[in-house]
Amino acid sequence: MLKVTSLPSDDKMCGWYHTSPSRTPRPGHTGETHARWAVVGAGFTGLAAARQLALNFPDDDIVLVDAQEVGFGTSGRNAGFAIDLPHDIGADDYIGDIPTAKTTLKLNLLGQTILRDLVDEHGIDCHMTASGKYQAAVEDRGVAVLDAYRRGLDKLGQQYEVIEGAALPEHIGTSFYRKALFTPGTVLVQPSALVKGLADCLPPNVTLYEGTAITDVEYGEKIVLAHRHGRITADQLVLANNAFGMRFGFLERTMLPVFLYASLTRPLTNAEQAQLGGKPFWGVIPADPFGSTLRRTHDNRILVRNSFSFNPDGRPKTSYLSRFADRHRLSFERRFPMLPEVEFDYTWSGSLALAQNHKGFFGQLAPNVYGALCCNGLGITRGTVTGTLLADWLANRRTAQRGELIDFLLATSGPNKAPPEPFLSMGVNATLWWGQRKAGLES
Ligand SMILES: Cc1cc2nc3c(=O)[nH]c(=O)nc-3n(C[C@H](O)[C@H](O)[C@H](O)COP(=O)(O)OP(=O)(O)OC[C@H]3O[C@@H](n4cnc5c(N)ncnc54)[C@H](O)[C@@H]3O)c2cc1C
């Protein structure tokens, strides 16, 4: 059996998890179970894959397992931007090559539609709001990125509004930024509430086991997934566990577990809300990818997200949290000097899977083993749509629109190989250090 050498173990301080409706997690797996399908990872990708497999194969049993509680992993700890537009951080204009950007837009829109329909159908209380997003700049480099992004949006035929710094306080309270581009298609969510809600409305032929970390795996005609309290034997396995997919023996050295950090304030008082001004609900992403993401939430808290670390084993380092909380405080004070007394209630981290070429994996990994892996930082829409389409591909279910998207994903080259250690850590750490330094006031 192959030993799974690193298991997820996120920190306990995720503000979204603690401020979303609590639920009783499904019990962990025990004993022996046989199923036609097993899906590992109950984040956006795995939840979507398990749901769609269940709909496409109504007579099959689908077992969905996660090492942690749903809503506690990365899918519940992100900034909650379900973005429609291509967000290619490898391209100068964030848009890149236009035919690829058009297909990416279709994928993201389908991901948004799938999520919106599920939220409506099941009444998931996750504050999903089609509020659009601001992409804001303060440094010269950031302003240049916005200009390039605007040209990219023109080429793609997408709507936007340019907002000069003097007008920004009416939107987001702060007068910190020099310029922003508002694009209307982004949907904001409370991510932990959304994934918890998705887990609680799975079709009846999906059995979800939480707190079940797969520690050993055997491949062959049947796939055996072993853990501390039992074994699951399946005919087919779908890996939807992002960078931890490498620990199952695939795509070695392609997905870099890069940690991001976020803090959430306490709710603002009525007087503080009046001092802040602006709209009651908004989201800002930085022009420079190393800058700060901000949100004002439905319950009048402010989220600050910045800072990165490379943790090759995919596990958090709690000692980093206080260091990055200090950085969040500095970013908050620069932007919101009118809110000097507002402290953070929560600071947490979460792991991305980043590929050097910014490509994800979709398709077959080995006989009877499939995967939708490597989120590249945009898993809310992308994970949802790739999980769904992987299940459609496995069922040979192709509508004209979905067939085109499946072909596009299958033809994608996938994440490329990074250099071996110690060069990998040296290279990634240097890139993160330099990127954050260059971001200047954007962070
Ligand atoms: C701070 C932060 C901000 C972000 N902001 C955004 C944003 O605004 N918009 C956006 O689209 N994306 C954002 N992201 C990225 C987004 O969270 C990810 O792309 C998304 O979570 C990927 O979903 P996934 O289901 O593919 O993987 P994950 O959410 O990582 O889920 C994989 C699951 O697999 C489980 N697992 C792993 N190994 C095992 C094992 N051995 N046994 C059992 N289970 C296992 C894990 O516990 C985990 O729950 C952000 C991420 C962070 C950290």
Residue 123 resides in a domain: no
Residue 70 resides in a domain: yes
Residue 396 resides in a domain: yes
Residue 331 resides in a domain: no
CA atoms within 13 A on the CB side of 342: 29
Domain count of the fold of the chain? 1
Residue 392 resides in a domain: yes
Please give the pLDDT value at position 416: 95
Widest distance between CA atoms in the chain? 64
List pLDDT tens digits, range 81-135: 999 999 777 787 888 899 999 999 999 999 999 999 999 999 999 999 999 999 9
Q: Which pairs with CB-CB distance under 8 Å and at least 24 residues apart come from 25-28?
A: 25/69, 25/70, 25/210, 25/211, 26/199, 26/208, 26/209, 26/210, 27/209, 27/210, 27/211, 28/209, 28/210, 28/211, 28/212, 28/229
Task: Spell out which residues line ligand 1, taking CB within 6 angstroms.
Answer: 4, 7-8, 40-46, 65-68, 73-75, 77-81, 213-214, 240-242, 244, 260, 262, 305, 350, 352, 375, 377-380, 383
Cα 27 to Cα 211: distance, rounded to the nearest angstrom: 7
Residue 114's nearest CA partner among 414, 395, 421, 402 is 402
Ligand 1 pocket test target in 78, 112, 186 with most atoms within 8 Å of CB = 78
Measured by CA distance, the residue closest to atom 31 of ligand 1 is 43
Ligand 1 pocket test target in 375, 385, 389 with most atoms within 8 Å of CB = 375
Q: What is the mean pLDDT of residues 52-71?
A: 98
Residue 114 resides in a domain: no
Atom of ligand 1 nearest to the CA of 305: 1
Cα 378 to Cα 90: distance, rounded to the nearest angstrom: 13
Please give the pLDDT value at position 443: 86
Residue 361 resides in a domain: yes
Q: What is the mean pLDDT of residues 390-414?
A: 95
List pLDDT tens digits, range 415-427: 999 999 999 999 9
Measured by CA distance, the residue closest to atom 11 of ligand 1 is 378
Q: Which pLDDT band, with edges at 50, 70 and 90, does 377 fall under?
A: confident
Measured by CA distance, the residue closest to atom 4 of ligand 1 is 78
Evaluate whether 40 touches 239 at the Cβ level (below 8 Å).
Answer: yes
Residue 415's nearest CA partner among 376, 364, 369, 389 is 376
Please say if the pLDDT value at position 318 is more than 90.
Answer: no
Between the CA of 280 and the centroid of ligand 1 the distance, in Å, is: 28
Please report, for residues 246, 355, 407, the alpha-carbon distance to residue 435 in angstroms, rounded to integers and kept in the order given: 26, 16, 35
Please give the pLDDT value at position 438: 85
Please give the pLDDT value at position 91: 82
Measured by CA distance, the residue closest to atom 2 of ligand 1 is 78
Between the CA of 340 and the centroid of ligand 1 the distance, in Å, is: 33
Domain of 44: which CATH number? Answer: 3.50.50.60
- When the pLDDT of each residue in the chain is averaged and rounded to a whole number, the result is 96
Cα 228 to Cα 124: distance, rounded to the nearest angstrom: 33
The tokens describing 217, both together, are 């795996």
Between the CA of 66 and the centroid of ligand 1 the distance, in Å, is: 12
Name 64's Cβ contacts closer than 8 Å, sequence gap at least 6: 38, 39, 42, 46, 47, 50, 202, 206, 207, 208, 209
Q: What is the mean pLDDT of residues 262-269?
A: 98
Residue 282 resides in a domain: no
Please give the pLDDT value at position 289: 86
Domain that holds residue 54: 2-76+193-255+357-424
